[in-house]
Every structure is written in C-alpha cells, then in structure tokens.
C-alpha cells in the first residue's frame, strides 16, 4: 500500500498547488461568443516562399519603404533592412530590447519601432532614439505596433501597462484590460492615451483617407475602430468581432481592404475556462513548459472596408509558415512576419 499512499499524497499535493498556490494574476470572467460558422480549411498559404532565411529569428512586424526594401525587428534586438528581393540585408541598429512593430519612412532614412521592452523608438543607421516610454504618467510595458500618418502624427499600441515581455502570458490568463492605443506628436514630443482598457492592444493601421485607426484587441477576438475625423472623431467602436482566432498585426492595402494576421486559432478548451477565474488560476500555475501550446496554423483574413471577411487564407500542414503575426500587401504579393519563424514569408497573389 505504500506506493498508493505516495501516489495519493502526490496527487493531493498537486491539487493543493493548482488550487491554492498564490499567483500574481487576478483573472476576470469573460464568456466569449460562440464561434461563428468556420470557413472550410484550405492550403492557400502552403506556397509561402521564405526570404531572408536564417537572417534572424522572429521578424514579428514588417514594413516597406518606397523602394520596396523590407524592414523587420528580430528577437536578438536587431532592426534590419532587407533588399526588395530579400537576398541581402544590413543591420541598422540593435535596440537592446525586442523590436516588434516597424514603420519605415518612405525614403528609408529612418524606421519607427515599437519595442516591447524599450518603448517607442526612432532608428537610423547606427543610432537608436527613444521617443516615448510612457503616456499620461503610465509607463509602457509591452509596446507592440506603430504607424505614422501623413501629418506626422504617430499612433501605436501598448499591449499591456501591467505585464512586461517576461510575463506576457499573465495578461492572457488574467484577461486583463491593460492595453492602450496611444498617439505621439513629434512636434510636442508628447504621448497621449487615445483608448485605454483594451484586452491586449496589438496591431495598428490607418484606414482610407486616414479617417480612422484600427487596432486589434487580441483577447476579445476583435478589431476596434477609433475615428480620427468626421462627426465620430474621438469615438471608438467594434470594426469586426467574433474572429476565429487571435488577431495580431493588421495593415491597409491602400485600395479595398485590410489584411489581418491570426496568431493562432481559437481553442475550445480555453474558451470554456475563460468564464471561470479559478480555473484560469489553476492552469496558470502549471509550469509554462507543460501548458498546452497554440496550434501551428498559418492564417490571414482579408477584411473589406466594412469589416466583412473577403478572403480566408490558411495552411495547417506540417512545416507551415506559422505563427503569422503580420501581413502586408505590396507589388502583387503578400509578405508575412512571424514572432518565431527564422524568415520573412512571401506569396504572390493570384
């Protein structure tokens, strides 16, 4: 009976740990909407070409200058400019943090960087300039994506004002509303919170005529719209809701719609425990290496200017380019970034 006693004691100890061990998160109950009817699986993204392969890991957010050169930030802190064909690259600077979102100036003279650790940066060859590390007295903890308007105004997201890069999953399990959409005025050098209370504020893009901003609210499975012009200026509202995955970076194609990266598909088990704070705490207590991992499913959506899904491109096969965290259209092709993959992706559009 001794082995059974040992096993029973171990089980009780594990249950006590999962139920009672203190954790820093304070989960909020949320019941997600039932997942809408899914598009049929497809392999439209299976032909993604890898460019800049092994030039670095995790080109999370990519951008282009007028000449078609590609800009990306890597996990080791480097901000890199690749030739338009991806065959050669040059290191512009190392931020010493984790550059996520990038926005290259048209002439390539500088690139704005949303660095998850360092804040909002301006990078030129050999130089890193810190533009902002806080807004309205609240420091950035997880600066995520950035875009600049023709007026010069910069808009960016802070995914969390509570948890930093080392505690990124804490916000996921807490389902906290610590994210913000922020503006930065280069003339006054002031950052201002436009929208607070977002559940992981992620990708940011400007819409047609720069009349509004879109920001991905990852943990709510939706994209929000913040009006910059017109009678709704200063108002924000849902643009598209009940998405089939976790929305990441988003970009406007300058013509008829937006491309939205889905980091991973929604998980039925995770959706079921979201209304149960005690269960969320219990799962969070499990060592991160033992928690279930997000499915490796490459997926991007094209949204029209009304927020309707116009295309759903996928690849869930072995070796897929996944997870996709950014997607941009340029010159008849889609280009992809990933927070984990050691290359940028490219796929000619039909």
Which has more confidence, 343 or 8? 343
Separation of alpha carbons 39 and 118, rounded Å = 39
Q: Is residue 32 part of a domain?
A: no
Question: Is the per-residue pLDDT at 14 higher than 70?
Answer: no
Task: Kindly indicate the confidence band of residue 20, based on its pLDDT and cuts at 50, 70 and 90.
Answer: low
CA distances from 304 to 50, 215, 222, 311, 320 (A): 27, 15, 15, 9, 26
Residue 128: per-residue pLDDT: 98
pTM over 0.85: yes
Q: Is residue 1 in a domain?
A: no
pLDDT at 119: 98
pLDDT tier, 15 (very low <50, low <70, confident <90, very high otherwise): very low
The CATH number of the domain holding residue 86 is 2.120.10.30
Give a yes or no: residue 157 inside a domain.
yes
Joined together, the tokens standing for residue 295 give: 């499915």
Q: Which range marks the domain in which residue 219 is found?
A: 50-348
Average pLDDT, the chain: 93
Q: Say if residue 36's pLDDT is above 90.
A: no
| Alpha carbon distance 133, 244 (integer Å) | 33
Domain for residue 40, yes or no?
no
pLDDT band (50, 70, 90) for residue 350: confident
Backbone phi, then psi, for 155, in 5-degree steps? -125, 135
Give me the pLDDT at residue 1, please: 45
pLDDT beyond 50 at 6:
no
- For residues 120-148, give the mean pLDDT: 98
Q: Is a pLDDT exceeding 70 seen at residue 37?
A: yes
Q: Dump pLDDT digits (tens) for 240-262.
A: 999 999 999 999 999 999 999 99
pLDDT at 290: 86
339: Cβ contacts below 8 Å, ≥ 6 apart = 58, 60, 100, 263, 323, 325
Task: Examine residue 199 and state whether it is found in any structural domain, yes or no.
Answer: yes
Total domains, the chain = 1
Q: Is 41 a domain residue? A: no
pLDDT of residue 252: 98
Contact 292, 23 (CB under 8 A): no
Q: Does residue 221 register a pLDDT over 70?
A: yes
Residue 227 located in a structural domain: yes
Average pLDDT over residues 165-181: 94
Predicted confidence (pLDDT) at residue 188 exceeds the cutoff of 50: yes
What would the pLDDT profile of 257-275 be if each residue is shown by its tens digit?
999 999 999 999 999 999 9
pLDDT category of residue 291 using cuts at 50, 70 and 90: confident
On whether residue 59 sits in a domain, the answer given is: yes
- Binned at pLDDT 50, 70 and 90, residue 295 comes out as confident
| pLDDT band for position 100 (cuts 50, 70, 90) | very high
The confidence score (pLDDT) of residue 292 equals 80
């Amino acid at each position: 009976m001794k082995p059974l006693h040992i096993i029973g004691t171990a089980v009780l100890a594990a249950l006590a740990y999962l139920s009672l061990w203190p954790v820093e998160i304070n989960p909020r109950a949320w019941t997600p909407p039932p997942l809408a009817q899914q598009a049929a699986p497809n392999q439209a993204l299976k032909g993604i070409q890898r460019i800049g392969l092994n030039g670095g890991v995790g080109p999370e957010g990519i951008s282009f200058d007028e000449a078609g050169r590609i800009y990306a930030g890597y996990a080791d802190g480097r901000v890199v400019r690749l030739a338009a064909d991806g065959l050669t690259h040059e290191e512009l600077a190392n931020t010493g943090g984790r550059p996520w979102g990038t926005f290259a100036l048209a002439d390539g003279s500088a690139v704005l960087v949303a660095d998850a650790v360092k804040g909002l940066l301006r990078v030129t060859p050999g130089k890193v300039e810190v533009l902002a590390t806080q807004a309205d007295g609240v420091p950035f903890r997880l600066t995520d994506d950035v875009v600049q308007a023709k007026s010069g105004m910069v808009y960016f997201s802070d995914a969390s004002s509570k948890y930093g890069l080392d505690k990124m999953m804490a916000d996921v399990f807490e389902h906290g509303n610590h994210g913000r959409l922020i503006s930065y005025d280069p003339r006054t050098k002031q950052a201002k919170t436009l929208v607070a209370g977002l559940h992981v504020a992620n990708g940011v893009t400007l819409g047609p005529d720069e009349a509004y901003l879109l920001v991905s609210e990852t943990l709510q499975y939706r994209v929000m719209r913040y009006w910059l012009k017109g009678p709704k200026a200063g108002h924000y509202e849902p643009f598209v809701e009940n998405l089939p995955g976790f929305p990441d970076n988003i970009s406007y194609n300058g013509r008829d719609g937006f491309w939205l990266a889905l980091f991973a598909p929604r998980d039925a088990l995770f959706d079921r425990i979201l209304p149960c704070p005690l269960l969320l705490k219990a799962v969070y207590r499990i060592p991160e290496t033992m928690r279930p991992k997000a499915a490796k499913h490459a997926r991007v959506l094209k949204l029209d200017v009304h927020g309707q899904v116009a295309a759903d491109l996928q690849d869930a096969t072995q070796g897929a380019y996944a997870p996709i965290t950014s997607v941009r259209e340029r010159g008849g092709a889609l280009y992809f970034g990933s927070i984990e993959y050691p290359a940028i992706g490219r796929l000619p559009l039909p």
